[in-house]
Amino acid sequence: MEATFVVIGGGICGVSCAESIAFLAPEEKVVLITASSIIKAVTNVMSIGKTLTQFDVEERSSDTLSNLYPSITIINDVVKKVDTSKKTITTEKEQVIIYKKLCICTGARPKLIQDNNSRVIGLRDTESAENLTIKLKNAKKVVIVGNGGIATELVHEIKGVDVVWVIKDRHISATFIDPGAAEFFQERLLNKDLDYQEKTANRPKWTVKTEKSTQNGFGPSLGPHWHNQINLIKENVLKRVEVEYECEVLQIINRTDSTDDWPIYVELTNGKKVGADFIISATGVIPNSNILGLEHLKKGKDSGYSVDWKLETMEKDIFAAGDVCSAEWDIAKHWFQMRLWTQAHQMGRYAAKSMVSTLKEEDFYQDFCFELFTHVTKFFGYKVVLIGLYNGQKLGNSYDILLRVTQRHEYVKLILVDGKMQGAVLIGETDLEEMCENLILNQLDLSPYGEDLLNPDIDIEDYFD
Ligand SMILES: Cc1cc2nc3c(=O)[nH]c(=O)nc-3n(C[C@H](O)[C@H](O)[C@H](O)COP(=O)(O)OP(=O)(O)OC[C@H]3O[C@@H](n4cnc5c(N)ncnc54)[C@H](O)[C@@H]3O)c2cc1C
């Protein structure tokens, strides 16, 4: 088989890339090779600013894409090898595809704290989420290790099972929020927020999907609202959450004799030994950058394929995007790479633009989305919007913080350097996202406004209009 463009991976990134190529160059043949028979498509994209977007992710069977775009052919297979001199790809089923431009969107896999242990669970795709649901059915206590988005959502979503949350930082959810915001979430974490408890205790249970989504056990990662697709609520009873701060797992011990209360234990660096039914490992991901024939490609520190501003690897005509790549161009001041849906979607679309433009020998500019980091998510039931250097990233210790907190309602934090906004954390329905985005992008000197910037009695948005 021969195609102008070949994309590997049926996650958000690969699908966005294939769709965008089909849109930009409908006359060119596109082959999308994916190990999974289910693909992820981005739908209902809603712009809430210049670069801020909210969207849904739909799981579809892979043939829906070729029905929508006649130039796309889908191959359900695993890519085994790429021969860069002959420009061919060989799959596990020994199919050979010749490409002109190739984009690798093979995503990443969970970094498990221990492999080959059925009581240590990682979470990545629909299948692993279903697996978790089944395991939680009879569980009384789980240990969750990790302090990023997945761990935070799991601690919130799991009901009826006691949780011990092991984090290496001084406060929860450190990847996304500061100690102040962690304090803001504390009531919900410890189940003290009574209004909220009432609202969530009787929410509907979700049924588990049984459709097999993958071959060879690796499917695309879950999409937004992933926890709604699986049942993490065992009973309408409250759970107990204990947080073990500033420690890591020293070793994992499986039950040694029948007198042990739990089937598995973790020994922590703070000297404690905690028993549980399962350990959920949510300690980050490793890019799937292990395709044969591409060993010579430069990799980033996190072992993703290193890419330049065009998302091209060091090998001409081979591009990489989404979780599998490491952004190594001259990064804009207010942007940084984080392996998230938004960036997978943006990179997939931009890789398409970049490949089509280089094929047609047309000039193009880097997409504006790489100017500013933005992320919209939900933690503990609150809308969370993160913009720019929201945690003071890249700023050392020399920045000012403007803070406005209304308990159980909103948490607004603005990061300023010399009176210019560098980042923002907006929790709750603040309606400030567009204003913050603009003020970071245009670097207006805000010193004359001082603390009035967050004065609830002044409609600051009108001010800047
Ligand atoms: C549980 C969970 C919760 C998350 N929560 C959030 C969140 O709240 N917000 C957020 O923004 N992000 C979140 N993420 C991260 C987000 O899911 C990823 O950043 C994003 O999905 C990456 O998309 P991708 O297309 O690059 O990779 P993937 O979605 O991993 O897709 C990779 C694709 O490549 C295929 N593939 C891999 N190797 C091969 C091969 N050799 N041959 C053929 N096909 C291959 C796979 O089958 C798959 O289709 C979460 C991730 C997980 C696992």
Q: Which of 310, 364, 377 is nearest to 338 (CA)?
A: 377
pLDDT class of 44 with cuts at 50, 70, 90:
confident
pLDDT exceeds cutoff 60 at 200: no
Helices marked H in 69-190 — which ranges? 126-136, 149-157, 179-189
CA 122 to centroid of ligand 1, rounded, Å: 13
Model pLDDT for residues 314-344, shown as the tens digit of each residue: 999 999 999 999 999 999 999 999 999 899 9
pLDDT class of 263 with cuts at 50, 70, 90:
very high
Model pLDDT for residues 89-131, shown as the tens digit of each residue: 999 999 999 999 999 999 999 888 998 898 999 887 767 777 7
Parallel, antiparallel, or unpaired: how do β-strands 278-281 and 120-122 relate?
parallel
Q: Where are the domains of the chain?
A: 2-108+286-366, 112-283, 381-464
Q: Tally the residues of the chain.
A: 465
pLDDT class of 208 with cuts at 50, 70, 90:
very low
Q: State mean pLDDT over 222-232.
A: 55
Ligand 1 atom with least separation from CA of 14:
25
Q: Do domains 2-108+286-366 and 112-283 have the same CATH topology?
A: yes
Helix, strand, coil shares, percent, the chain, to 5 = 25, 30, 45
Amino acid (1-letter code) at residue 139: A
- The mean pLDDT value of the chain amounts to 86
pLDDT exceeds cutoff 60 at 260: yes
Instruction: Say what the pLDDT of residue 224 is.
Output: 54
- Poorest-confidence range of 222-236, 297-311, 313-327, 401-415? 222-236
Class of domain 112-283: alpha beta
User: 395 and 420 in contact (C-beta within 8 Å)?
Assistant: no
Q: State mean pLDDT over 399-425.
A: 92
Q: State mean pLDDT over 69-95.
A: 96
Q: State mean pLDDT over 217-236.
A: 56
pLDDT exceeds cutoff 90 at 436: yes
- Poorest-confidence range of 30-44, 57-71, 207-221, 346-360? 207-221
pLDDT class of 36 with cuts at 50, 70, 90:
confident
Parallel, antiparallel, or unpaired: how do β-strands 410-417 and 400-406 relate?
antiparallel
Instruction: Say what the pLDDT of residue 59 is.
Output: 84
CA 320 to centroid of ligand 1, rounded, Å: 14
pLDDT class of 210 with cuts at 50, 70, 90:
very low
Instruction: Say what the pLDDT of residue 25 is.
Output: 97
pTM, full prediction: 0.86
Q: Which residues line ligand 1 (CB under 6 A)?
A: 8-14, 33-36, 78-79, 105-107, 123-124, 149-150, 218-222, 226, 288, 291, 322-323, 339-342, 344, 377
Pick the CATH number of 2-108+286-366 from 3.20.20.70, 1.10.1040.10, 3.50.50.60, 3.30.420.40: 3.50.50.60
Task: Indicate the CATH number for domain 381-464.
Answer: 3.30.390.30
Ligand 1 atom with least separation from CA of 221:
29
- Hey, how many other C-beta atoms are within 10 angstroms of the C-beta on 25? 19
Angstrom distance (rounded) from CA 209 to CA 262: 29
- Dihedral (C-alpha) 395, 401, 406, 410: value to the nearest 10 degrees? -30
Most confident among 82-96, 128-142, 189-203, 424-438 (mean pLDDT): 82-96
pLDDT class of 213 with cuts at 50, 70, 90:
very low
Residue 305: strand, helix, or coil: strand
CA 202 to centroid of ligand 1, rounded, Å: 31
